[in-house]
Amino acid sequence: MGEPMKSFSATIAIRATPERVWAILTDAAQYPVWNNTVSKVEGTIAPGERLTVHAKINPGRAFPVRVAEFAPATRMVWSGGMPLGLFRGERTFTLSPQPEGWVRFVMREEYTGLLAGLIGRSIPDLQPAFDEFAADLKKAAEKGSN
């Protein structure tokens, strides 16, 4: 029972405006172009919209999520899981402007719910994919901006 809930996070400094990073993060069609961890995002990344995320770490499995929070150039939450609160996964993207034109990007995913302990054990180590996602985003956002 007292098992910690599983979570992953990646943080990176990006030399770009929050608006530029946000534009990349919210353009579903372009994910496969800049991101090596996602093969496809179906849907429109906008408030309340449903998306289907195809991650390369789980080929053949699609993850339906809802855009639960959408604060332009600041914060976005993708939420998915099972009904009745049995299992939830929430991915939060946060952009914090830093001095001298940098943005601190944080992507965090955590799992909660009655079955989180059980399901959590079957979730692969996503840390390398999270680090790669952050590095890919940095590359895409900084391209052509210096």
Choose among 17, 4, 8: nearest CA to 97: 17
Residue 27, classed as helix, strand or coil, is coil
**Tens of pLDDT, residues 54-82:** 988 888 888 899 999 999 999 999 999 98
Regions in the chain scoring below 70 on pLDDT: 1-4, 144-146
Contact 56, 78 (CB under 8 A): no
Contact 112, 88 (CB under 8 A): yes
pTM higher than 0.75: yes
Domains of the chain: residue spans and CATH? 7-141 (3.30.530.20)
